[in-house]
Amino acid sequence: MGSGSSVNANYKYSLQKSENAFKAAVLIQQWYRRYVARLEMRRRCTWRIFQSIEYACEQDQIKLHNFFSYLMDHFTPSSSKERDFISRMFISGESFKEAELEKYCDYESLEVPDSYTGPRLSFPLLPDHATALLEAFKQKQQLHARYVLNLLHETRKHLKQLPNISHVSTCYSEEVTVCGDLHGQLDDLFLIFYKNGLPSPSKSYVFNGDFVDRGKQSLEILIILFTFLLIYPKEVHLNRGNHEDHMVNLRYGFAKEVMQKYKVHGKKILKMVQNVFCWLPLATLIDQKVLIIHGGISDTTDLDMLEKIQRNKPRPTQAPSMANRLEFSKWVRQTVQEQIEWCRRLVDISESEDEELTYSSVVSLTDLDGPCWTRQEEWKQILDILWSDPMPQEGCRVNTVRGGGCYFGPDVTEKILEKYNLQFLIRSHECKQEGYEFCHNRKVLTIFSASNYYEIGSNRGAYVKLGPDLVPHFVQYQANKTAHTLTMTQRISRVEESAFRALREKLFAHTSALISAFKAYDKDNTGRITLSNWATAVESVLHLGLPWRMLRPQLVRNTANGMLEYKSWLGDLAMEQRSQEHIQSSLLEVIYRNRSNLETIFRIIDRDHSGLISFEEFHQTWKLFSSHMNIEVTDDGINDLVRSIDFNKDGNIDFNEFLEAFRLVKQA
C-alpha cells in the first residue's frame, strides 16, 4: 500500500514537472515570436524610410529636369552671347555630330608613357584582356585614359549595330544569368563572377541596367562589362537603366567619380560615355518568352514601337530648337504651375504645394498634333520601361513617388503577357531585402544585385539563372565580409540607426516648413501640439508616406502628457546637425534641403567639369534663374554678387562659393 502511494506521488511529480516544462517552452516560444515580430517590424520601418528618401530624391531629379526644360522653353536670350551660352549649357552627348565626337574623343592622340604599369588593351579584345582588367582592378590599378576612350569608341560602334530589343536563346548556352542593379559596387560583380563563372560561349549574361552611380567604382564596372561585351557579343547583353543618363549621373556621383579619377581627360571620357549610354538596348527577350526591362511597363507599352524607336535620340525636352518650341509649350503648360512652385520653393519664396500630375494628364498628350505626339509618345515608351514599378492594386497610374514612369498593376502585366505571348517579366530598379522578389502572381520578378545597398547588412544581392525550361534559379550573396559576422539583431540595429540618421537630416532640412505646419495646430501659440498632430504635420511637409506614429518613439524622446514642445524638438535636431557642420542653423537648413539640386545645377553650368565656373557663366545662369524666380537682380547687382563671393579672387567660382551666392540671394 505504501509502495503504491509512493509511485503515485512520483507520477504526479513527474507530470507536474512535464507540465511546467511545457508551459516554459510555450512562454519561450511566445517570447521568441514576439521578439522576431518586433525585429521584423523594425526592419520594415527601416526599409520604408530608406526607400521613401531615395524615391523623393529621384522625384527631385525629374523636377529639376522639367524645371530646366521650362526655363529653356520660356527664356528669351537678349543677345547672341546668351543664346550661345544656353545652347552650350544644354547640349548633350547624343547631340554631338559623328565627326565632332570622333575628333573630340580622339584616343589615338594620347600617348601611354613607359612608366605606366597598368593593363594594356589591343583590339580586337581577347579573353586574356578581360582577365588582366579584373586582376588590375582588384589591385586598385587604373586603366589609362587612351585605353578607356578606345574601349568606349569600340563599344559605341558595336552598340549602334544592335536592335532596341536584344534576343537571347537558351539553345546556344546551358543557361542565361540575369543580373540587376550594380550601382558602382565592384565587389558584387567580382562575387557574381566568382560564384557563377566569367562570361563565355557557354555562359550568357544579361545585365539589366543601373551599372553606375552611388557606388565608388562605376567606371570600373563599365569597363569590365564593355570588355566582355566586345569579346562575347552573342553571350553578353546590356540593358539601359534609368541611371544610364547624363543628368542623373550629375546628381548621383558617376560624373564626379570620372573627373576625380581622370582629371586631365575626364571630360572626354564623360562625353563618350554619355553617347554610349544613348545606344544601349532598351530590353532583352529570352526565347521569345521572358521579357527583361529595367523598370517596368504601363498600359500603353508597345513592344513593336520600342523595336522601331531611334533610341539614341535626345529626350524631347532637352536642348529644344526653335522648330520644336511649340511642341514643348504644349507639354509644359500641363505642369508649368508645378515647376514654378518648385523653383520658388528652392529659395523659400512660396510654401504652396505642388499640384499632383495625374496619369490621365500624361496620356492626354495624344491630343497633340501628329508629329509632336509621335516624339512624345516614343519618349514616354522609354520613360515607362526605365522608371516604372509594379503595384498590388489593379490599374495603371502615374508614379508620383519617383516622379517618372508609372505604377502598373497585375491586370496590366497580364494584358502585356497575353498580347505578346510571354511567360513572365524580369525587372530590377528596386532594392529588395533578399535580392529578389516575385509579385503579380509570380509573373513579375524583381532582381537586384547590389548587396548592402543602403547600409552594411541592409540587403542581400542576387542573380537569377534560366535554363531551357525557363524556370528561375536564384543565387543570393553578401559581398561585404562584415555583414557575415553580424547577428540579425546587430544587422537591423545598424541599418536602423543609419535610416533614422538620414530621416533626422530630412526633418532638419524642412525646419521652416515644419514650424509653419505645427503652428497651424497651435492656435493658442503655446509652443506645444499633440503627438497625433505632430505626425500629421510632418507627413504634410515631407510627403514620404511613412508611419510617423510608429516611428515617433525614435524621433521624439521628450514629451509631457502626450504633448510635444515642437520648437525645442526642432532645436535638438539643429544641434545634432550643427555638431557635424559648423554653420549657422538657418543656412545649414537651406543647404541640407537644396544641396543635391544646387550641386546638379552647378555641374550643368560647369561644362568642362573642372569644379569651377567662370564669371560670365555665373552671370548668364543667374540672369536665367532670376527672371523666373521673382528675384530682382540687375546686371550690376549680379556683378557685385559675383565679385563678393569670389573669396580667393581667382576669377572663378567653386561650389562652396556658389552656395554662398544662393545664401546671399535668399537673404536679399
The owner of cell 563563372 is 197
> What are the φ/ψ torsions at residue 390 (nearest 5 degrees)?
-75, 155
Between helices 145-159 and 266-278, what is the axis angle to 10°? 10
Query: What is the three-class DSSP state of 453?
Result: coil
Say which residues have a Cβ less than 8 Å from residue 401's Cβ, sequence separation at least 6.
52, 55, 56, 59, 389, 545
The owner of cell 552671370 is 619
Secondary structure element (H or E) that encloses residue 473, with its range: strand 472-477
Cell of 604: 550643368
Nearest to 244 by CA among 220, 216, 264, 270: 270
CA angle 646, 649, 650 (to 5 degrees): 105
CB 601 within 8 A of CB 63: no
Query: Pairing state of beta strands 424-427 and 396-398?
Result: unpaired
Q: Which amino acid is at 482?
A: T
Cell of 37: 515580430
Instruction: Give CA 200 to chain center in angstroms.
Output: 31
| Sign of the torsion formed by the C-alpha atoms of 134, 136, 142 and 148 | negative
- Under DSSP, the state recorded for 659 is H
Cell of 348: 523659400
Say which residues have a Cβ less than 8 Å from residue 290's Cβ, sequence separation at least 6.
422, 423, 424, 425, 426, 466, 470
> What are the φ/ψ torsions at residue 34 (nearest 5 degrees)?
-65, -40
**Catalytic status, residue 440:** no
CB 423 within 8 A of CB 290: yes
CA dihedral 612, 616, 618, 621 (to 10 degrees): -130
Distance separating alpha carbons of residues 598 and 254, to the nearest angstrom? 17
Q: What is the DSSP string of 238-277?
A: E---TTSSHHHHHHHSHHHHHHHH-TTTHHHHHHHHHHHH
Cell of 411: 491586370
Distance separating alpha carbons of residues 336 and 58, to the nearest angstrom? 19
Instruction: Give CA 511 to chain center in angstroms.
Output: 25
Using only C-alpha atoms, the chain has a radius of gyration, in whole angstroms, of 28
Catalytic residue of the set 237, 243, 440, 609 = 243
Distance separating alpha carbons of residues 463 and 450, to the nearest angstrom? 10
What are the CA-CA distances from residue 166 to residues 48, 198, 234, 235, 381 (Å)?
A: 34, 20, 10, 11, 17
Nearest to 422 by CA among 240, 292, 549: 292
Q: In three state form, how does the secondary structure of 392-414 look?
A: CCCCEEECCCCCCCEEECHHHHH
CA angle 499, 501, 504 (to 5 degrees): 110
The owner of cell 550690376 is 636
CB 224 within 8 A of CB 133: yes
> What are the φ/ψ torsions at residue 185 (nearest 5 degrees)?
-95, 90
The owner of cell 532596341 is 164
Say which residues have a Cβ less than 8 Å from residue 331's Cβ, sequence separation at least 6.
316, 317, 365, 368, 376
Catalytic residues: 243
